[in-house]
Amino acid sequence: MCGICGLARPAAGASPVPEDLVVRMCRTIVHRGPDDEGVYVDERVGLGNRRLSIIDLITGHQPLSNEDGSVWIAYNGEAYNFAEVRDELIARGHAMVTKSDTETLVHAYEEWGAPGFLDRFRGMFAFALWDKRVGSLLLFRDRVGIKPLYYTLTPGGTLVFGSEIKTILIHPSVERELEPRALDLFLTLEYIPAPWSIFKGIHKLPAGHYLEYRDGKVTIRRYWDVEPPADPAAAAKPVDIPALCDELYALLKESVKLRLVSDVPLGAFLSGGIDSSTIVALMRELGASPLKTFSIGFADQTYNELGHARRIAELFGTEHEEFIIEPRALELTEKLIRHLDEPLGDFSIFPTYLVSKMTRAHATVALSGDGGDELFAGYEHYQAQRLARTFGVPLSGRAAGAVVSRLHPSDKKKGTWNKLRRFTQGFDHEARLRHMRWMMFLSGRDKRRLYAPGLMESLGGIPALDADEPFAGLYDKAGRFDDTTGELYLDLKAYLVDDIMVKVDRMSMAVSLEAREPLLDHKLVEFAFRLPGDLKLRGGQTKWILKKTMERVLPAENVWRSKEGFSIPIKHWLKTDLRGLMEDVLAEDKLRRDGLFNPAPVQAMIKAHLAGRENYSHQLWALMVFQIWKSTYLG
């Protein structure tokens, strides 16, 4: 696992790309690769790599090339099945000098060309490949978007790229300017979907895409996606549930087995939910030894899942470690926002960072259960959308919302009020947005109150969520699946990649830990999207087919218990330990000076939240994160 960076010129310079510039770019991401640093430069291209050594610890130095130095690569990721591809390439006459997946990718590109060579590999990756023979720089991002990759074009036509935005900001021609549309998307969704980033002109390469830079021009193409069924009527045919469960179990086991390949110690994150418990059970069945597991808990028992995790740890005889998070963990706020590079409103960056830090003391690789919710319909908003479709309740939903809003929010993590309030808030958004409306935190009405005139003018009014990419291009395809699977498709292409994977990648890499996600193996993803939606969300039961499959090895109380979610008691902490920080960064004079938000509605939210009349934790935390980010990156 590594971090990469670099640049490419539209034409050869009189001298090579400045090596010191690429080195300075590399030094911003030492945390991604503390074990080694490498740089390659010529008259057109500079490639940089920071390496966290996982496989082939001795000879895996990067960047590396083919035999004659005509093709160079800087690589971040793991191709878990590289050994079999390597053997095939050697049989075809390729000479290998390392035992790394990195070198295997170079020779696979030579043998089969782009993007077809990627069909041979299963894994997570983001890499740059410079082909001197044709003067083409290629950037690739893995199918699901587990690994990040950003890029920009300077005014002079130079392509600058990196695993994190901070590498790109080192280049002297890159300006730091706020992108208003990205800010609007962040406040709407709590994350910024690709291809946007918070910086104007800096973009995310979308998952399952590759970029070609040649003669100063950028072309982006898709090479992978899940596809709707060719015959929708086939979904209505009876299915053999036991056989389907056997097939799913075999795929899960194969995926976990691939991700046990490592030359360094590995472990697993364990919450006690169905996803992480599945991973640990299969690791034990596959003979992983020692089997180390790591869990995070809270003093507030309504947020604490340690009992469920302990049950699984005891059942499978793991070497188990736990950590209790206290409010003082939020002292990490500025540090973690610097690691993110752009605002992310997901509260669970804190437990993710802390469980990663705890794990790194014992292992260099951790398997996680991320992806199960987006493959098998694990979130409550899938239930909410089905309820709205079934009963057609937009008007009654708004009426219920008016009643619920008069009641005080519950102190519990998921009280009845909290669920009802979140459900009724969905009716503030248009039904055409499908289930995305259950994942939006500011309505158009809210924005008209909150956004200052300058921000409104730069946005040209309040843009619809589907006014541009990515959602403008996703809704049509989502409509070609059944309703539930179409909603999963939207989350696979947006929420999963631009919230969950951002959180896991940055927080694990902040402590130089490699996180692996067996549930996001692309073969497993393709299988899940071939299943009809009623096997994932059956009645009101989420993840039904996964739970039915894992009954054979997991306790019923872990399989069938309701989802808790990996969150923190932020709504309480904003009233206590975080109150001072909130009142400081959202002070009226600061907001007025910045000119982006109207101070009055922000102060009204603060007062209502502190008084317990409303739970504005999502909105207030998102504003706090943005203000801290702005102070950190824009001064």
- CA distances to 96, 346, 367, 624 from 495, in Å: 39, 11, 20, 21
Structure tokens at 36: 């080694």
CB proximity list for 125: less than 8 A, separation 6 or greater: 75, 76, 77, 78, 79, 140, 141, 142, 147
Q: Report the largest interatomic distance among the alpha carbons of the chain, rounded to a whole angstrom.
A: 74
CB 516, CB 279: distance < 8 Å: no
Taking the CA atoms of 354, 358, 361 and 364 in sequence, report the sign of the dihedral they define: negative
- Percent helix, strand and coil across the chain, each to the nearest 5: 50, 15, 35
Rounded Cα distance, 136 and 158, in Å: 13
CB proximity list for 527: less than 8 A, separation 6 or greater: 247, 248, 251
Q: Could you say which DSSP state residue 426 is in?
A: G
Q: Is 5 a catalytic residue?
A: no
Q: Which stretch of DSSP H or E encloses residue 203? A: strand 202-204
| Residue 232 Cα to chain centre, angstroms | 30
Rounded Cα distance, 115 and 148, in Å: 18
Q: Which of 630, 597, 3, 617 is nearest to 346 (CA)?
A: 617
CB 42, CB 174: distance < 8 Å: no
Helix (H/G/I), strand (E/B), else coil: 469: coil
CB 513, CB 359: distance < 8 Å: yes
Bridge pairing between strands 514-516 and 319-325: unpaired
Bridge pairing between strands 266-269 and 292-298: parallel
For residue 156, the tally of other CB atoms under 10 A from its CB is: 9
- Please, which residues bridge with residue 515 across strands? 366
Rounded Cα distance, 166 and 121, in Å: 29
| Residue 158 Cα to chain centre, angstroms | 28
Burial of residue 13 (number of CB atoms within 10 Å: 0-12, 13-18, 19+): exposed
Give me the torsion for CA of 520, 522, 523, 526, rounded to 10°.
100
Q: Which residues are catalytic, by number? A: 2
